[in-house]
Structures are given as structure tokens and as C-alpha cells.
Amino acid sequence: MDMCSINPAYLGKKYRYAYACGAQRPCNFPNTITKIDLEQKKAKNWYEEGSVPSEPFFVARPGAKKEDDGVVISMVSDKNGEGYALMLDASTFQEIARAKFPYGLPYGLHGCWDISSSSEIEPEEIETVPILSSSSPMQFFFVDLSVMF
């Protein structure tokens, strides 16, 4: 397991769930996104052959009451050299959506969620508002999660 994250509301507190990159063998690099239930000692995995996910990050549903009520987002490099943002339901770990990028993504990309910018997004601006950036010159574009909740 590598690049672990949790619901940021639980930082410094007891938490039950962690999200990380894992590996479905045989391979020499992370190729799964894993939800770990630390109380039940169980895990759920997202896996797609030939895909390499980046660090998963948790975004809580507005008004969430449960620790895993929200989505997990990861930027994925796929076997065809293309890239997309993957969104998983954090509770069920089922895929909700993916947004393809018009360019490939390098392996090992890190990201973060910027809640301060997302509250200013109007629904008609969904495809044009950059709110995530990395140290590389590319920017990521956000699909407004609030319309899904």
C-alpha cells in the first residue's frame, strides 16, 4: 500500500477507513485503488487492467454524517497512454464517473481537493473552471460533484 489518505475531517482523530494505491500481483507498481476498513479488517478494490491510478483523495458529500459518505477521486494513466479522473462512491467503492483528459498523465501524479474554489462554481461553468493544479504545467478540470448529491 502506498499514498494513503483518509477523510480530512478525521485528521488527528480515530478513523475507520483509509484509501490507498495497492497492487494486484504480478506487477511492480500500484495498479489498484483500495478502501481499507480498519475495524472489520476488510478491503475493497478498484482495478482495471493496464491502468495506473494516482494517489486517491476523499471528498465528503456536503452535510455528510458518516465517515465514508462521499467520493474518492484518482487521476488514472491507462494502457493506451491516455488519462482520466476516476470518481468512486466512497461507501460502496463502485465507479460513479470518469472524465477523460485530452492528454496523457504521468505515473505518480499527486493531487488535492480545493473546497474553497469549488463553492464558487456555477453549474454552467463545470467544464471550464480549473481548481486542481500540480507542480507540472498542466491543470486539471473539475466535474462539479454537488450536482451528483
More confident residue, 121 or 60: 60
Length of the chain: 149
Whole-number Å distance between alpha carbons of 39 and 36: 9
Q: What is the DSSP letter of 81?
A: S
Mean pLDDT check: name the lowest of 5-19, 81-95, 109-123: 109-123
Contacts of 51 (CB under 8 A, 6+ apart): 31, 76, 77, 78, 79
Comparing C-alpha atoms, which of 23, 73, 72 is closest to residue 49?
A: 23
C-alpha cell at 43: 478491503
Provide the whole-model pTM: 0.71
Q: 110: annotated binding-site residue?
A: yes
Mean pLDDT of the chain: 75
Tell me, what's the pLDDT at 111? 57
Tell me, what's the pLDDT at 148? 39
Evaluate whether 89 touches 67 at the Cβ level (below 8 Å).
Answer: no
Tell me, what's the pLDDT at 139? 37
Average pLDDT over residues 111-117: 55
Average pLDDT over residues 91-117: 74
Most confident of 28-42, 59-73, 115-129, 131-145: 59-73
Helix (H) or strand (E) holding 115: helix 115-118
Tell me, what's the pLDDT at 70? 94
Average pLDDT over residues 81-86: 87
